Structure 1
Amino acid sequence: MAWDTEGTQRKIKEAAVGEFARSGPDGTTIERIAKSAGVNKERVYNYFGGKRSLFATVLRDELAKVARAVPVESFAEEEIGDYAGRVYDYHRERPELNRLLRWEGLVFDGEVPDEESRREHYGHRAVAVAEGQENGTITRSIDADHLTFLILSLAGWWTAVPQVARMITGEPTEEEHARRRASVVEAARRLARVP
């Protein structure tokens, strides 16, 4: 019987997303990840090395998923508020990514794993904003890189600190999520509006 290497790796990464999002890379163990995945821990070490390497792999995969799910080419053509709404939707459905990013910020001093390729990931969005600025559809009063960061923050902060969102805006019912999303879209439009 052939070993399902891809399936095993997928199960390990899925388990790692949950464990790392819940406890961070320093708060969980390879043993817990392996148990959650239903494999022995030697498999985890064989496929991914240690926890830091597995954490980097998981975060890279999660960032690739959001890039595929919420693509953007140019804000000369796409409306930035609609994009912000789609980013909000993604984070609402997959809050683990925000948790992983928060853990990364807490655990790593200085450069993070895959930082250079991640700069490209985020840089692509800043280029899309700059194209909107060149086209006259987005304000030039905020630099493209800052505007990119602000838009991503508007859309993602709701799941980064859900307890604060709940305390300020109430329980996250479907009605409240619709209200939050509408606010994100409108705030992004106002931020980017050409005066």
Structure 2
Amino acid sequence: MGYDSSATRARLLEAAHEEFVAHGLAGARVERIAKNAPANKQAIYAYFGSKDELFDSVLEARIQLLVDVVGFTPADLPAYTGALFDAFVADPELIRLTQWKMLERPEASAAELESHLSKAQAVADAYGADLETGMDALMIALAAAQSWLFTPPAIRNPAGDDEGARLKRHRAAVVAAVEAVTERLLPKA
């Protein structure tokens, strides 16, 4: 049986994802990633160049999965926010990974900047607003979609209600909040 480099690369990405979610970029260890892949450490450098580039590849792959699951609907920002909320709840590790990125490398990459600018422009175009207003609305929608995971369980459910019912109420509140922001910031032209 021959060597399957795509399988090795996929195993490295999965092991790196687990490592980066648990330890961040600075705390991640190439040795643990290689051991958990299983692969040799040199394969990481051959496929990805460096630990930083491996982190970027993991983050890019996870964000692409999110993009594949959640279609961007600039003309219906509340619905987009609700879909993002659902995706983040289903995959909370994505939020943790992006938090590590923001803590350890807060500067935006060219790809991140382009992605946000193009989405903000699409929102602005859909509502007849300027780019800055489109970006404000987009950033509020993104923050709202992540709110459940940024709040400790005891705070987000102080009455100790059924967690599933509380999650549904919070999602409805998030969508309603973005609807209000949309109406206020982005009146239809």
**TM-score, shorter chain, exceeding 0.5:** yes
* Among candidates 92, 95, 119, match of residue 92 of structure 2: 95
- Residues 12-38 of structure 1, C-alpha deviation per residue, up to 9 Å, x if partnerless? 111111110111011120111112222
- Residues 138-172 of structure 1, C-alpha deviation per residue, up to 9 Å, x if partnerless? x88x811111101000001322x242xx1222268
* Among candidates 94, 99, 117, match of residue 111 of structure 2: 117
Q: What displacement does 1:40 show?
A: 2.1
Q: What displacement does 1:132 show?
A: 2.4
Contact 1:151 1:188 survives alignment (8 Å): yes
Alignment partners' CA distance in 1, 2:156 and 2:112: 32
Contact 2:73 2:79 survives alignment (8 Å): no
Pair 1:104 & 2:101 matched: yes
Contact 1:72 1:128 survives alignment (8 Å): no
Letter in 2 for 1:45: Y
Paired positions, count? 181
Alignment partners' CA distance in 1, 2:58 and 2:123: 28
Q: Which residue of 1 aligns with 2:28?
A: 28
Alignment partners' CA distance in 1, 2:151 and 2:5: 36
Greater helix content? 2
Higher RCO by CA contacts (8 Å cutoff, separation 6 or greater): 1
Alignment partners' CA distance in 1, 2:119 and 2:71: 9
- Residues 27-65 of structure 1, C-alpha deviation per residue, up to 9 Å, x if partnerless? 120111112222222222221122111001111112222
Contact 1:14 1:37 survives alignment (8 Å): yes
Name the SS of the counterpart of 1:3 in structure 2. Answer: coil
Contact 2:20 2:55 survives alignment (8 Å): yes
- Which structure 1 residue ranges, 5 or more long, are not aligned? none
Identity of aligned residues (%): 30
Q: What displacement does 1:186 show?
A: 0.9
Letter in 2 for 1:105: M
Pair 1:191 & 2:188 matched: no
Change (3 A) 1:73 1:176: closer
Pair 1:168 & 2:155 matched: yes
Give TM-score, length-normalised by structure 1.
0.84
Contact 2:148 2:156 survives alignment (8 Å): no
- Residues 104-152 of structure 1, C-alpha deviation per residue, up to 9 Å, x if partnerless? 121126x35xx11111211222122112221xxxx88x81111110100
Letter in 1 for 2:62: E
Moved over 4 A (4+): none
- Which structure 2 residue ranges, 5 or more long, are not aligned? none
Contact 1:19 1:33 survives alignment (8 Å): yes
Alignment partners' CA distance in 1, 2:170 and 2:49: 40
What's the C-alpha RMSD, in Å, of the aligned pairs? 2.1
Q: Which residue of 2 aligns with 1:19?
A: 19
Give TM-score, length-normalised by structure 2.
0.86
Alignment partners' CA distance in 2, 1:65 and 1:123: 20
Alignment partners' CA distance in 2, 1:40 and 1:173: 43
Alignment partners' CA distance in 1, 2:89 and 2:116: 20
